[in-house]
Amino acid sequence: MIASTAFTAHLDTFARDRLPAADQQPDFIFDLPQLHYPERINCAATLLDCAVTEHGWGERTAIYSAAGNYSYRQLLDAANRIARVLTEDMGLIPGNRVLLRGANNPMLAACWFAVIKAGGIAVTTMPLLRAKELTDVIVKAQISHALCDARLAEELEIARGACPSLAELCYFNGGNATPGLDRLEPRMAAKPADFANIDTARDDICLIAFTSGTTGKPKGTMHFHRDVLAICDCFPQSTLKLAGSDIVCGTPPLAFTFGLGGILLFPLRLGAATVLVEKLTPDLLLQTVQEYKVTVLFTAPTFYRMMAGQTSQFDTASLRKCVSAGETLPGATRKLWQDATGIRIIDGIGATEMLHIFISHTEDEARPGATGKPIPGYRACILDAEGKPLPPGSIGRLAVKGPTGCRYLDDPRQADYVANGWNVTGDAYLMDADGYFFYQARTDDMIVSAGYNIGGPEVEDCLLAHSAVAECGVVGVPDPERGQVVKAFVTLKAGYNPDAAMARLLQEHVKHTLAPYKYPRQIEFRSALPRTETGKLQRFRLRD
């Protein structure tokens, strides 16, 4: 573990004062030489300023978008002007928390860098959050400033009355159609395009990411400047092998750390370009790949499955890498995509608590059914209920450690996530003799029926292989005789009838593919399944 003697630059120490106690934090390891960062570092300066001043990428395109393209120099200039607005007009001091609210567009990206350059703590929120959800985040993090897309003003203005800490708001992307709102662009235009970045410590907090709510109880996870650089110097370079010539695109919002890293920070670290699109459907994502000659794609399994049947209608020859994360990648979806494009999806598991992907594989090292191995810089093992390592072939709790880790904002659930120095992710996994990790279920999604342990994702994967099934979710429901039984919630493709005969057909399909005790004794047909804004299936809502 790297100890830091660097003094914090934060004058507002609210977040730092609410870090978990040292003995409640995980062990941090820095095995790779590139992870040894200076004691004084501002990650926004390293990612953006250095791109222009040291690497000579100023005239390269950093962001493509329908609203216009930004070179690295233009993105830096915009971030500097916004940083001046924050500090000179809005009174931001280092350590203040700043709410960022917007869809994936260049202004949101510039605002993110501006907050970090000014020594603030970015709290980026999903665009679809309602006033109550925004209030919970603002109150929890005692947010003092907000930069919000004017098209999303309504819910924030509703929340404002219940948030006494929120003193300064400014709106962007409003044009002249937003009377009464304090607009960011005129303020930016009055500022010089240079800014003296705040001299932050590598272990100063620079972002608080709130979990996406698959359990219904989001938590704020705090990450340092060094953490942001660490995720840029691990997965995208060692496993993904991203290059400066790449053009990246994807569906995850920048408020989701999978999106923040994959479609903004990773490409900028290596001099590549990203395509930011505010709202993507499967056909629009394929259209974007065709139009911008996208080479690297980040999205969730659901999108890959829906796009697979449409690839023949678009030119996807530019694609060379496809990354899946956010939820488990079913084998049936992996095969569909490979059959359609010839590309093996790079699967990965990450967590908001860990900031990004920590177990994955290259295309050449992919093994059927396996998520992969710990990426360089991380270690992983399987623990039993007492926290002891299990031998290969045993199902238990996935535990991981590396240069990033869990630091909840003033939350007693820290004790549930960190045990004996390990981050215990809440996933049930199996590790084979070769060190490959195989996902079984979320530990709270493991179904125990008549003494049998049944992983819901395995049954989901089986059902998805049936030609009638569009999507499905599998959970355990109480049963007086078996304790629990397997229940499947199924959405059918067009042309199939959601009736008793179809339910029996799907049950027989599972019985003939998996051990018979795993078949869903109950099937409920739905027109749609509950998902988070990032595409994760909300199984807790199915159980409820």
pLDDT at residue 3 above 60? no
Query: Does residue 319 fall inside a structural domain?
Result: yes
- What is the reported pLDDT for 72? 98
Query: Does residue 36 fall inside a structural domain?
Result: no
Q: Are residues 194 and 310 in the same domain?
A: no
Question: Helix %, strand %, coil % for the chain, to 5?
Answer: 30, 25, 45
275 CA to centre of own chain: 17
CB atoms within 10 A of CB 391: 9
Domain of residue 83, CATH code: 3.40.50.980
Q: Are residues 271 and 394 in the same domain?
A: yes
Residue pLDDT, tens place only, 488-532 = 999 999 999 999 999 999 999 998 888 788 999 999 999 999 987
Q: Are residues 46 and 133 in the same domain?
A: yes
Q: What is the dihedral of CA 418, 229, 264, 379, to 10 degrees?
A: -40
- What is the reported pLDDT for 328? 77
Q: Which of 187, 183, 123, 124 is nearest to 153 (CA)?
A: 183
Structural contact between residues 521 and 487, judged by C-beta atoms closer than 8 angstroms? yes
Report the DSSP beta bridge partners of residue 61: 71
Q: What CA–CA distance (Å, rounded) separates 427 from 399?
A: 9
Residue pLDDT, tens place only, 345-385 = 999 999 999 999 999 999 888 888 899 999 999 999 999 98
The 3-class secondary structure across 50-100, one letter per residue, is HHHHCCCCCCCEEEECCCCCEEHHHHHHHHHHHHHHHHHHCCCCCCCEEEE
Final residue in a domain of this structure, among 158, 182, 199: 199
How many structural domains does the chain have? Answer: 3
Name the residue type at position 228. V
Between 313 and 484, where is the model more confident? 313
Residue pLDDT, tens place only, 278-295 = 999 999 999 999 999 999
Final residue in a domain of this structure, among 430, 445, 460: 445
Query: Does residue 207 fall inside a structural domain?
Result: no
Chain-wide mean pLDDT for the chain? 92
Report the DSSP beta bridge partners of residue 471: 491
Domain of residue 308, CATH code: 3.40.50.12780
Q: Are residues 458 and 434 in the same domain?
A: no
Q: By mean pLDDT, which of 26-30, 132-136, 223-227 is the weakest?
A: 132-136
Query: Does residue 92 fall inside a structural domain?
Result: yes
Q: Are residues 256 and 114 in the same domain?
A: no
Task: Provide the residue range defining the domain that includes 82.
Answer: 42-199
Q: Are residues 275 and 346 in the same domain?
A: yes
Please, which residues have CB within 8 angstroms of residue 5's CB and are 6 or more apart in sequence?
A: 39
Please, which residues have CB within 8 angstroms of residue 184's CB and are 6 or more apart in sequence?
A: 82, 85, 107, 111, 147, 170, 171, 172
What letter would DSSP give residue 372? Answer: B
User: For residue 214, what pLDDT band results from cuts at 50, 70 and 90?
Assistant: very low
Final residue in a domain of this structure, among 138, 165, 199: 199
Residue pLDDT, tens place only, 19-45 = 999 999 999 999 999 999 999 999 999
Structural contact between residues 139 and 164, judged by C-beta atoms closer than 8 angstroms? no
Query: Does residue 212 fall inside a structural domain?
Result: no
Please, which residues have CB within 8 angstroms of residue 140's CB and are 6 or more apart in sequence?
A: 220, 409, 410
CB atoms within 10 A of CB 493: 12
Q: What is the DSSP string of 153-213?
A: HHHHHHHHTT-TT--EEEEES-TTS-TTS-BHHHHHHTS-S-------BTTSEEEEEE---
- What is the reported pLDDT for 309? 92
Q: What is the DSSP string of 290-319?
A: HHHT--EEEE-HHHHHHHHTTGGGS--TT-
Residue pLDDT, tens place only, 403-438 = 999 999 999 999 999 999 999 998 889 999 999 999
pLDDT at residue 193 above 80? yes
Q: Are residues 288 and 399 in the same domain?
A: yes
Report the DSSP beta bridge partners of residue 383: 389, 397
Q: Are residues 469 and 337 in the same domain?
A: no
